[in-house]
Chains A and B, each alone.
Chain A
Amino acid sequence: MDSIVILFISGLLGLFAGMSKKPVASLFIASFGLIGAGLAAYYRGSYNSPFSSYAAFVPTQGIVIILLCAVTLLALLGGFKRYKNDDEHTGDYFGLILFSLCGAILMAQPGDLMLFFIGLEILSIPIYVLVGIDKGSSTYAEAAVKYFFTGSFASAILLFGIALLYGATGSFQLIEIQSNLAIGIWQSPMAMIGSLFILAGFIFKIGAVPFHFWGPDVYAGASNAVLMYMSTVVKIAGIYGLINVFGQVFRDSYFFWIDLISLLIVISMFYGYITAWKQTNFRRLIAFSSIANAGLMLFALADIHNSNIFLFVGAYALATIALVVINLAVNDDSDALANWEGIAWKNPMIGIALVIALFSLAGIPPFAGFFGKFSLLWSATPHVPYTAILALIASVIGAFVYLRLLILALKRPKVQVRMQLSIEQMIVLLLTSIASIGAIYFI
């Protein structure tokens, strides 16, 4: 709770600081808020290695908040170049992002379905605004409207699921629902349909098949800076919420939904990676890659008592932010993938960060992405072995999507053009690279 209060207050201060039209001031306030929220969470909960906590029921509270704050901080720094251009609205951007983060924290650690739903709405509504904040552009407006309509629809389904579940069990408290379901109510049609509706709402939020259609259009329509936030934090909050709700509430009907989840994993991964293969637009590629990664995240549900999702979502967020920062630095206007040709040669920092991010996403050791994937598969394989095999086959296709991008970016240009990165972009790329390598010490 301390973290949410700190975030909310710094968000408010950020809004007021925005009036001074000094973007740096807003950035400082937002950064202090995020760091403070992370520290508050750190002193409230301890972090256990995903491998040492075999009996852990749900992930430790503090570490999720720290992860969310750290990722948001990276996203703010990485997108600062874009935010500061629009100095009338810099405060609005930061305020909205921090308010949205409050919702993400509420949503990731629910104890109550009503509170969870409120968290989800607090997370979503600022993002609808953020996507369309540039009022002059029609693509942003299109993306925002599309996201708003599909998102509201998904919220409605989720709410319907919550209502059905309330009808079946008579409570919003997760613990009470669980104890009611455990005595056999989970077999009632009302509870089953309710669980599927809640699942559908979550699947929409993390953007896995079959509720992925908004992803590519909205990602391509949003600006790079907003994309950094919404392709990472929303997914992290969504998957943690899903694990907590399903791991706590629906663990008795495990064998009812696990086959469905397996199917979603396989279809998401194959669909995401195969479609990403032929993309010519960077943000669409990231969108399809994120669909496939959302499929991988669902593996956390296979072993509800030991969901080692932390490393995976962390690695995914780091790599995605690094890639989008690079895209923002070199290719903010057109977003065509063809502009990526030879960008690794423009600046050594871009080259190193790019190689690490892409290898990390492809799941090749010794980078964080591998350890994330390994810890997921490590706990999931005994439960869903065939899904794991199919997922690995899909990962090969995925590795090719990323290697293709890498080959494009490493192509030696005829004329070398050097380019300078701004200081905060350097910091983000450096931090993501170091964290991607340093993950080896967390396993």
Chain B
Amino acid sequence: MALILLPLVLSLVAWLLPSAQTRLFGLIASALSLAWSIVAVCYFKPTDHLLVDFGLRFIRFSIDSLGFTMILLTNAVFFLVFLSQFTSNITQEKRFTALALLMQFGLVGVFTTNTILGFYIFWELTLLPIFLILYWFGSFEKPRALLQFFLYTILGSLAMLLAVIGLMHATNQQTYEGLLVADLNALGNTSTLLMGGFLFAFAVKIPLFPFHTWQAETYTKAPTAGTMLLSAIMLKMALFGLLKWVLPIFDGVATDFWRWPIISLGLIGVVYGAIIAIRQRDIKTLFAYASLSHLGLIAAALMLNDFDTNQIAVVQIVNHSIVSIGLFLAAGIIELRLQTRNIEELGGIAKVAPRFAFWFAVLTFVSLSVPFTAGFIGEFFLIKALFSAHALTGFIASTTLVLGAVYMLRAYQAPMFGPTKIAAFADLHWSELIVFAILSVAAIYLGLAPQCLTDFVAQSLTQPTH
């Protein structure tokens, strides 16, 4: 119970504290949540379900091992965001700290709720804080880009709301377990439509290819902390929803109908995102499109709904969080110190800031899926699964390795080792250094021993019946 409510309480405390203590409070609060979840996970048996009930009719919680993984990931991401932004102005702001903690509460709710309506409610709850964070701290000169992001999100959410109402009416069930045993195949085309509603909401959040147009501009204009929160954890809600809710519940007619459309869109995203990323000059936009490319691969592989692939997808979800925090932090550091994100104006940073160059390189290699990093495990097995589905899908998916190398090395090589174009560059602050070190260690540990994660989540992933 405390696991779920702690961020909410801390968020309320953050409003009441004097502004001078906000910076430290944010860090301590997020560290407290993380420590609490680590302690809780030590006492947690992977086969268990932790039931939490606040007496609400439509919202109940049940934490299984997948949920615990996501809670840990959420709390770790928030801790790293607060730590990495320790020197920036944004953590001084009371509003940012309180809203970020509120968002953390929403995310933990999404990952632990046991009812389909609860899933929707928490899904939407995260919208309020991120809207305010983007609006207050981003550099949106005109609200148009922000409104576009919200147009897409709200449209997707309302499609999901209709699907939730339809699903609850059709099955007369509202809990996860109840929906699992409900026979949706008997509904025929209705179940396909209902799944379409969910998939639309998820496609906007992941994002999949034709629904991604909000992403690049929102990422670019958002503050570094906002971008990290969005890409590292908020968009994972959609993949989590796909993995935990939609695929097991709609297993059968509906999944068979949507499998190839979604895989195609995911793979188009993989290639399209990578090609656009190659042409980008703005380093943050480049990483945004790289994110589109990587997430398209995960979504495509998830649609295969294969037990082993689903476990690996969790590894890749965690890996993508690590990579996106690291890369957007690096972009943020460059922007903060040089007031530019244009690759062509950067060069020779490695000479003046060797520590930054080293850790940025590590994260770049993780993103490139070099063996012994989590990225390798993730991408290798996902591409292998797509190959076993069809040779062509596997081939298209594997282009991500080559194209990824092109844009990542370009983003790294020119600013770091190109001809010197910058005057001065302060090397990493200790807080940033710790963040990079934690990320790198986590990525390499997961790359060497992925079974610690896959075995843990395997307990709560349901075996597909077909």
Residues of A that sit less than 8 Å from B by CB: 49, 51, 355, 359, 362, 364-366, 370, 374, 377-378, 381-382, 388-389, 392-393, 395-396, 399-400, 403-404, 407, 410, 412, 440-441, 443
Chain A's nearest CB lies how many Å from the CB of B143?
5
Q: Which A residues are CB-close (under 8 A) to B161? A: 374, 377, 392
Residue among B124, B155, B169 making CB contact with A370, cutoff 8 Å? B124
Q: A378-B168, A389-B162, A407-B135 are in contact. List 20 more A-B contacts (CB 8 A).
A: A365-B125, A370-B124, A377-B161, A378-B165, A378-B169, A381-B162, A381-B165, A381-B166, A382-B169, A392-B159, A392-B162, A396-B151, A396-B154, A399-B150, A400-B151, A403-B131, A407-B143, A412-B136, A443-B56, A443-B57
The SS class assigned to the B binding surface is helix
A2–chain B nearest beta-carbon distance, Å: 32
* A-chain residues with CB within 8 Å of residue B158 when the two chains form the complex: 392-393, 395-396
Q: Which of A366, A377, A404 has the most CB of B within 10 A?
A: A366
User: How far is B117's CA from A365's CA once the two chains are assembled, in angstroms?
Assistant: 11
Q: Which residues of A contact B166 (CB under 8 A)?
A: 381
Which residues of chain A come closer than 8 Å to B154, judged between CB atoms? 362, 364, 396, 399
Interface residues as binary, B54-93 with A (CB distance below 8 Å gives 1, 0 otherwise): 0011110000000000000000000000000000000000
Q: Report Cα–Cα, A378/B120, bound state, in Å.
A: 14
The residue in chain A whose Cβ has the minimal distance to the Cβ of B55 is A441
A223 CB to nearest chain B CB (Å): 31
A434 CB, min distance to chain B CBs, angstroms: 13
Taking a contact as CB atoms closer than 8 A, the residue among B124, B135, B147 that contacts A365 in the complex is B124
What CA separation (Å) do A51 and B143 show in the bound complex?
A: 39
Q: Which of B58, B128, B136 contacts A359 (CB 8 A)?
A: B128
> Given contacts A51-B57, A359-B128, A410-B136, is CB(A388)–CB(B162) below 8 Å?
yes
| Residues of chain A lying within 8 A (CB to CB) of residue B124 | 364-366, 370
Judge whether A364 and B165 touch: CB under 8 Å: no
A381 to B164, alpha carbons, bound, how many Å? 11
Known: A370-B121, A399-B150, A410-B135. Contact between A364 and B128, CB under 8 A?
Answer: yes
Docked complex Cα distance between A370 and B147 (Å): 20
Q: Tell whether B32 is near chain A: CB-to-CB under 8 Å.
A: no
26 inter-chain pairs at a CB distance below 8 angstroms, sorted by A residue, are A362-B154, A364-B124, A365-B120, A365-B121, A365-B125, A366-B121, A374-B161, A377-B161, A377-B162, A381-B165, A388-B165, A389-B162, A392-B158, A392-B159, A393-B158, A396-B154, A396-B155, A399-B150, A400-B147, A400-B150, A403-B150, A404-B147, A410-B136, A412-B136, A441-B56, A443-B57
Cβ distance B93 to chain A, nearest Cβ, rounded Å? 11
CB of A240, distance to nearest CB on chain B (Å): 24
- Least CB distance from A139 to B in Å reads 32
A378: nearest chain-B partner, CB-CB: B165
User: For B276, what are the chain A residues with a Cβ–Cβ distance below 8 Å?
Assistant: none
Question: Are A366 and B125 interface neighbours, CB within 8 A?
Answer: yes
Could you say which residues of chain B place their CB within 8 Å of the CB of A441?
56
B128 contacts A381, CB within 8 Å?
no
**Min CB gap B120→A, angstroms:** 7
Which 5 A-B pairs rank lowest in CB-CB distance, beginning with the nearest? A365-B121, A392-B158, A365-B124, A407-B143, A399-B154
What B residues does A355 contact at CB under 8 A?
A: 128, 132
Q: Which of A49, A364, A410 contacts B127 (CB 8 A)?
A: A364
Contacts of A381 in B (CB 8 A): 162, 165-166, 169
Of the candidates A365, A374, A412, the one having the most CB atoms from chain B within 10 angstroms of its own CB is A365
User: B117 to chain A: which residues have CB within 8 Å?
Assistant: 374
CA distance A175 to B128 in the complex (A): 48
Taking the closest CB of chain A, its distance from the CB of B301, in whole angstroms, is 31
Q: Which residues of A contact B169 (CB under 8 A)?
A: 378, 381-382
CA distance A292 to B131 in the complex (A): 24
Q: Which of B58, B151, B155 contacts A443 (CB 8 A)?
A: B58
Chain B residue contacts of A443, Cβ below 8 A: 56-58
Query: 1/0 per position for B136-165, CB-CB distance to A under 8 A?
Result: 100000010011001100110011011001
The residue of chain A having its C-beta at the shortest distance from the C-beta of B120 within the complex is A365
Contact B125 A377 (CB under 8 A): no
In whole angstroms, how far apart are the Cα atoms of A127 and B128 in the complex?
37
